[in-house]
Structure 1
Amino acid sequence: MPKPRNIAAVKEITALFKASNAAVLTEYRGLSVAQITNLRTALGPDTTYAVLKNTLTSIAAKEAGVTAFEGQLSGPSAIAFITGDPVEAAKGLRDFAKSNPQLIVKSGVLDGRAISAADVNALADLESREVLLAKVAGVLKASQSKAAALFQAPLSKTVRTVEALREKQAGAEAA
């Protein structure tokens, strides 16, 4: 018979899985409490880094429909539940792991699809959502400016041609 606190914990973890658009499974063996606190700060306010019991996490993942962590929940495991920009969280994990090699990224799930540790690192190499949106906006603005210049070109060319004809006619009448 499951204990009421375990049932509540499974419900809470399931809710975290369902509310997140990404989650990254890590192994934190050898990290101190202070280092884990620093990691939580580095991940930002849109990411919840939780040290969880493997059996409860496995049950909650199944209930949430997440199959990415099957067979990987062993040893000291923690999951970063990401509700914001997954690129920023992946960068936080990568940068923290560079200075703290005890943190090992095992795998993840992004928008319901399983991703490997290499995919998490590739995600960290992307530019942030805001930068990518700014680049798209710049391209769109440049395209609009080119289109406006293209539409104005025939009109200005016509005006120059008419003006040249007027000058030629005025020169012919004066002679």
Structure 2
Amino acid sequence: MAVKEAKVKAVEELKDKFDRSSAVILTDYRGLNVADITELRRKLKEQGIEYKVAKNTLTRIAIKDFDYDLDEFLEGPTAMAFSYEDPVAPAKVLTDFAKIHKELEIKAGVVEGKVVSKDVISELAKMPPKEQLLASAVGAIQSPLYGIVGVMQGTLRNVVYTLQAIQDKKAS
């Protein structure tokens, strides 16, 4: 009975993680030693990403209510990186780590509710970080505003100079 309760709890936990995640990336970690996995977990945790090893059968049960099918990727040992905010961050960390540690294989992922291939994950890894994208967007919005403010300041400055000249002329 205790084993069944543990499995039910594990399924509910996985279901919750999938539900809250903006991105989940499935990996095969065969060949990585404990030190490598610890290093990977540390790098992921620095970015707010959770790395979890789960049984494929429990994962299948957990995602049965979602609109995506991961059956073909749930073969062999599977660990999943769950990102709750930035969908690009796990792709970056895992891709960079896999360049150094060839044993880590990225299988596939789920980004914003859509199943994506490892090729799409590689493309995501090339994107700039979320903060940089937001800064670019803010800069693009700000630049026309600065132009308008500059024009208005120039116009106001001219009005002030004209009024000052009129006042100086009346005074003399």
Same topology, TM > 0.5? yes
2:28·2:104 contact (CA, 8 Å) conserved in 1? yes
Distance 1:84 1:40 in 2: 17
User: What is the 5 A alignment of 1:91-102?
Assistant: 91-102=92-103
Kindly provide the amino acid, as one letter, of the partner of residue 28 in structure 1: Y
Q: Is there any run of 5+ residues in structure 2 with no aligned partner, and where?
A: 166-172
Distance 1:12 1:155 in 2: 62
1:68·1:115 contact (CA, 8 Å) conserved in 2? no
2:25·2:90 contact (CA, 8 Å) conserved in 1? no
Identity, % of aligned positions = 40
- TM-score scaled by structure 1? 0.82
- Post-superposition Cα deviations, 1:83-120, rounded to whole Å, max 9, x if no partner, equal 13222221110110010011111111111111111111
TM-superposed deviation, 1:20: 1.2
Aligned to 2:81: 80
Kindly provide the amino acid, as one letter, of the partner of residue 105 in structure 1: I
Aligned to 2:127: 126
What is the number of equivalent residue pairs in this alignment?
168
RMSD of aligned C-alpha atoms?
2.6
1:18 aligns with 2:40: no
User: What is the 5 A alignment of 1:1-175?
Assistant: 3-45=4-46, 46-63=48-65, 65-153=66-154
Structure 1 residues 59, 110: CA separation in 2 closer, same or farther (over 3 Å shift)?
Answer: same
1:22·1:81 contact (CA, 8 Å) conserved in 2? yes
Distance 1:12 1:129 in 2: 27
TM-superposed deviation, 1:160: 8.1
Distance 1:8 1:27 in 2: 24
TM-superposed deviation, 1:151: 3.6
Runs of 4+ in structure 1 over 4 Å off: 152-164
Structure 1 or 2, whichever has the larger Rg, is 1
Structure 1 SS opposite 2:108: strand
Q: Is there any run of 5+ residues in structure 1 with no aligned partner, and where?
A: 165-175
- TM-score scaled by structure 2? 0.83
- Post-superposition Cα deviations, 1:136-155, rounded to whole Å, max 9, x if no partner, equal 22222221111123344556
Distance 1:35 1:151 in 2: 59
